[in-house]
Structure 1
Amino acid sequence: MFLDGANLNGGNPMYVTDPYSQLWTDHGRENGDLGYPLNLRSRLSGGQWQAFERGFVFNRDGQAPYAVTRPVSDTWTRQGRENGPLGWPTGQRVTCAASPSSPYQTFDGGIIAVDGAGRATLNPPAPCPETTRAVNGDFAQPSGTGPTTITASPGMPGGWSAARAWPVTINTPTTTSTALLPTTRAPAPAGKSMLKVCSTGAYNGLAQAFAAPGTGSPAIAYVWVYVEQGRIGVGIGNGGSTGLSAQSTQTGRWEPVTATSGNDPGNEIIITTLDPDGACYYLDTVTVQNRT
């Protein structure tokens, strides 16, 4: 029996209250992919959670709640949920543009994607089957210059990084060095490369214009990054108006960072430092895909 936001399971009301109630409504309430609540919203270390018939809602203290539904929730549970290597969810489920039956969801330590047959997969190379719009996003092609070091100020040319199609962008006085190295992200095919970037100063790093300004569809950028020191921001948008819409949250481990262009066309991606002390980081894969 269901009454006034409660599942009267065995006579015990299981209320869904704000801020979870709106998210539950967005997912179709008791008839949706979460189903009826199974317990009351409860505290856990660092946040709160509530169980439902077909998934969970979790939120860190001070952050928005995220729904994790089947089959992603089953895989996440087998991995230990927030206490396992994947950690907490960092976004809602995202639907791929060309394959709406294949959503994915990001977590602190990785990603879970669902294929067309409804099977959940941990940490696929790219979350959607569409071809990426970024150029040399797997860093397989060198620029031909080898490791690079650029010392420059705003208004001076940045030059190329060690990876083809990834020029250095400069917004504050900086020394930026880049090098292609064997990737440390596992699993990885033999010979897979990553790009190491170290930049002093804030808002320096890489930029790639993969289409003309004003062209393209709204897009999502998906970046696998290992931050050694500092923080990085990621943005995708329309030419020179591209701003940052996501940032790294960890150091000393690989994490996926997902940025969106909102309703603007996506034709340029930027990856920059955020702090005056700069940052050192490694990029394994960058994909850019149309957003639904």
Structure 2
Amino acid sequence: MGWTLLVGSSGHSWRDWFEAGTHSDVLVADPCQAEVGPPGRLVRLQGGRPVAWRFIGATDFLRNPVGWLAGALDLAEGEPCVILPEPSESPVCRQMMVAFSQVCRAERILAAEGCLSLSWPWPVGPEEVPLSAGFPPLVRDAQRRARWLELLENCALHEVRIADIQTQGCRLGTGRRVEVPSGHGEVSGGHLLWVTAEKPDDAVVSRLLDDVHAHRLHLVDPRSYHGTLCSFALENGEDFGMGVIKRFDPGRGLMEVLNTAVVPAPVRVLKVGTLRIDSKGKEIGAHTPWAV
């Protein structure tokens, strides 16, 4: 038997379906789920227990579609049962989920009754199945917040120098370092990233763009990084600690990170998400992908 894909919605729950079945290998490929730990990641379960995970950095998988696809394919082993994100009317969502079903050569696709994805061009099926009602939105929001608080409580403080690591999911740390009047500056592909708390005037910006041979400026307040989800990872993509950026000092190029990894951590790669949370576990918005 091959892969089984489950396509539901926030108003439905697969809990009863799993309790009645014999599926021991499950991939929770919905980063909005908070039943198996903090959201913002994909989790592989064996016998109901988490055994591996990959960082997404958002509860909406379309904010990191490449990371979602790579993480899901990396985590899935054998013939798993995969819980997909809730489908939306976005053409990108449709293309990503159908493409995933094609790449993994899904043998069976189950969809909740009335699910809008029933008419999508899936490679097989889908079979329409009745599901029990899921938790109401208020309960799901409270559950996510409780998971964020639990994550923060299990974190330790780490100091990471941007010059010593590789970054993913952000502009910071991906370009050539350049001198700027204040803060931190990098140039990549004709774009200048300038992280500073100051607001430079147009004359300064124009002169700086000429000096570094860039044609576009990305001006970022260092406080924009505060509270952003992140993870520590190895070069092979394996994550070993999740947390949030506490503070970024652009003058020193130093990042203070609250992370579940043990101090000192052998950080090689810092994955930066888009979702931000505050110290009380409240979700406080999200960056536009690659904006910082």
For the superposition of Structure 1 and Structure 2, which TM-score range results when normalised by the shorter chain?
under 0.3
Structure with the largest fraction of strand:
1
TM-score scaled by length of structure 2: 0.26
Q: Could you say which structure has the greater relative contact order, defined with CA pairs below 8 angstroms and 6 or more residues apart?
A: 2
TM-score scaled by length of structure 1: 0.26
Structure with the largest fraction of helix:
2
